[in-house]
Amino acid sequence: MKNPRKIRAKQLIDNAMQETPEAVSGKRRCGIVLAVFLAARFLCLLAELTGAALGYFTISVQNIILFLVAVFFAWSIYIGIKMMALLGVVGGMIMVVQTFSLYPVLFDPEAYPFVRLYTAVFLLTAYIQVISMLFLVLEKKANIYYKTVFKARRQLMEEEKLQKRQ
């Protein structure tokens, strides 16, 4: 049996979305950007696992966990939590700072070709994360979507307060 609170929250969000066509478009845009973001993160993880299988480096449990965190972030943003996109910008900026030490590896002719490829994939992933999360924070229709979901959730909280008082 489903949770009545979740059912009511979904009803309120669906009603709010029907009233605001821009929010529907914003959610669609979020989904597309998040799919690109997750594809880049998956490609980076796949490159790392391949490098580990080829013996270039060891498997990083941290990066596997970070991929799962990225999936959680994407899901949270997709359901309308803008704060997660802001945190994604911060995480992406940390990745970009980490990439500064990788540029010499990328252009080192003595480095193994796969290591240079992995470095390029990591660099690409870092910049895709920053750009995609900034887009999700700044894009007009995405912000309409976030506001629409926020209003519906606030309405649910107000309904719950009224029920408690009665």
pLDDT tens digit sequence for 38-52: 999 999 999 999 999
Number of C-alpha atoms within 13 angstroms, CB side, residue 84? 16
* pLDDT grade for 24, boundaries at 50, 70 and 90: very high
State residue 100's pLDDT score. 85
pLDDT tens-place string over residues 70-129: 999 999 999 999 999 999 999 889 988 988 888 888 888 888 888 888 889 989 999 999
| Mean pLDDT calculated for residue range 5-33 | 91
Is the pLDDT at 162 greater than 60? The verdict is yes
- Residues, the chain, total? 166
What residues contact residue 126 under an 8 Å CB cut-off, 6+ apart? 92, 95, 96, 98, 99
Which among 54, 36, 12 has a CA at the least distance from the CA of 148? 12
Which among 162, 147, 159 has a CA at the least distance from the CA of 20? 147
Which residue did the predictor score with more confidence, 75 or 57?
75
Is the pLDDT at 1 greater than 60? The verdict is no
Contact 13, 152 (CB under 8 A): yes
> 0.75 cut: is pTM over it?
yes
Q: How far is CA 136 from CA 25, 72, 108, 131, 146, in A?
A: 13, 16, 35, 9, 10
Cβ atoms < 10 Å from Cβ of 161: 9
Token couple for 9: 């929250």
Contact 65, 14 (CB under 8 A): no
State residue 165's pLDDT score. 82
- Whole-number percent of the chain with pLDDT over 70: 99
Angstrom distance (rounded) from CA 157 to CA 159 = 5
Instruction: Write down the mean pLDDT value for the chain.
Output: 91
**Most distant CA pair in the chain: distance in Å?**
74
Which among 154, 146, 155 has a CA at the least distance from the CA of 20? 146
Is the pLDDT at 166 greater than 80? The verdict is no
* pLDDT grade for 59, boundaries at 50, 70 and 90: confident
State residue 104's pLDDT score. 86
